[in-house]
Amino acid sequence: MLLRFTKMHGLGNDFMVIDLVTQHAQLSAKQIRQWSDRHTGIGFDQLLVVEPPNDPDTDFRYRIYNADGSEVEQCGNGARCFARFVQDKRLTAKKVIHVETSGGPITLRVRRDGQVTVDMGAPRFAPAEVPFIAEQEADQYAFEVAGEQLMVSAVSMGNPHCVTLVDDINNGTLERLGAHIEAHPRFPRKVNAGFMQVIDHGHARLRVFERGVGETQACGTGACAAAVAGIRLGLLRSPVQIQLPGGNLQIEWAGPGQPVLMTGPATRVYEGQIRV
C-alpha cells in the first residue's frame, strides 16, 4: 500500500507529516527510525501524525514521534506545520483549530500573512511534570553534569526542558554537555537541553539539543521554555524574540498560570508517497 505524506519544516526543524484521518497505517518505532534516516530514508527530526480526535470538542489528535522512534508529548514547530497541513489538505476550513496532544490541548491560529500562532497552554514547573525537580519548585537548580556545575531552569511545555544560560551559544557548551544533559539520570524521561544567551530584555539566542534527535535548527517548545525561564529570572520581558539557528520565533507569556503564545512560519517542502 502507498502512504501519502508531506515534507514540511518550521525554521529548519523538519517533519514528515501523515494524514491518518483519510488513510490507514500501523506505524512501528523501527519504521519511523528507518524513515527518519537522512542517508537511507526520507530524513526528518520528527514524524507528525494527524488523527481524528478522541474528544468531540477538539478538531484533531496530533501525535509526535522523534527521529529515534519514541512518541513524545509536544512539538511547537510541528504544531504550526500541523495547522498549515490540515488547511492545505482541506481536512478543516477553520482558522482556529483545537488540537489534543498527549502534552495537553493546544490551539492553532493561521494568520493572514501565513504565519501561525500557537497557544501552547501554561508552562508547568511541578515535580511530576519535570522529573528533575525532586525538591521544591524553584526558578533555578544547581546541577552537576559530566563533572561541571550548572545552574539550570526546568520547564515543562507538555514535554520536558532544561534551560542553561550561557555567555555565548557558540562557546562549545552544547557540543560538550548537550547529550549528557539529555540522558542525565535526574531526568528519567530524558530531556530537551536548551542553551540560551540573553541579548537584552526582548531578545535571546538559543540552541537546543533535542531529546531523541540531537541538535535541531529550531525547537518551538524549547523557545517557549527558554523565554519562560528568562522571564521568571527577570532577564527577559514579554514579548521576546528567540533567535534560533534556523530563524526567529516570537514568544509571549503574561506570567504564571497564563498560556505561552508562539508565532512563526510553517513551510511545505514537497509531497511524497512511500510503500508500507
Ligand X SMILES: N[C@@H](CCC[C@H](N)C(=O)O)C(=O)O
- Catalytic residue numbers read 75, 219
The annotation status of 76 as a binding-site residue, yes or no, is: yes
Q: Compute φ and ψ for 103, nearest 5 degrees.
A: -95, 0
Choice between 41 and 276, CB closer to ligand X: 41
Q: Which helix (H) or strand (E) holds 218?
A: none
Q: How far is the CB of 93 from ligand X (least distance, A)?
A: 26
Choice between 127 and 201, CB closer to ligand X: 127
Binding site for ligand X (CB under 6 A): 13, 45-46, 66, 72, 75-78, 159, 192, 210-213, 216, 219-221
Choice between 212 and 230, CB closer to ligand X: 212
Choice between 12 and 201, CB closer to ligand X: 12
Q: How far is the CB of 250 from ligand X (least distance, A)?
A: 14
The annotation status of 210 as a binding-site residue, yes or no, is: yes
Please give the Cα distance from 272 to 44 (Å, whole number). Answer: 14
105-114's contacts with Cβ under 8 Å and 24+ in sequence apart are: 105/58, 106/62, 106/74, 106/79, 106/158, 108/79, 108/80, 108/82, 108/83, 109/83, 110/83, 110/84, 111/263, 114/84, 114/265, 114/266
Helices 220-232 & 76-88 angle (0-180, nearest 10)? 140
Sign of the alpha-carbon torsion through 151, 206, 63, 100: positive
Q: How far is the CB of 56 from ligand X (least distance, A)?
A: 27
Tracing cell 512518541 back to the chain, one arrives at 71
Give me the half-sphere count of Cα atoms (radius 13 Å) on the Cβ side of residue 38: 7
Choice between 115 and 201, CB closer to ligand X: 115
CB atoms within 10 A of CB 47: 25
The annotation status of 192 as a binding-site residue, yes or no, is: yes
Q: How far is the CB of 123 from ligand X (least distance, A)?
A: 13
The annotation status of 74 as a binding-site residue, yes or no, is: no
The annotation status of 275 as a binding-site residue, yes or no, is: no
The annotation status of 255 as a binding-site residue, yes or no, is: no
Strand 203-210 versus strand 240-244 pairing type? parallel
Q: Which helix (H) or strand (E) holds 195?
A: strand 192-200
Q: How far is the CB of 124 from ligand X (least distance, A)?
A: 14
Binding residues: 13, 46, 66, 76-77, 159, 192, 210-211, 220-221
Could you list the residues known to form a binding site for substrate, using ranges: 13, 46, 66, 76-77, 159, 192, 210-211, 220-221
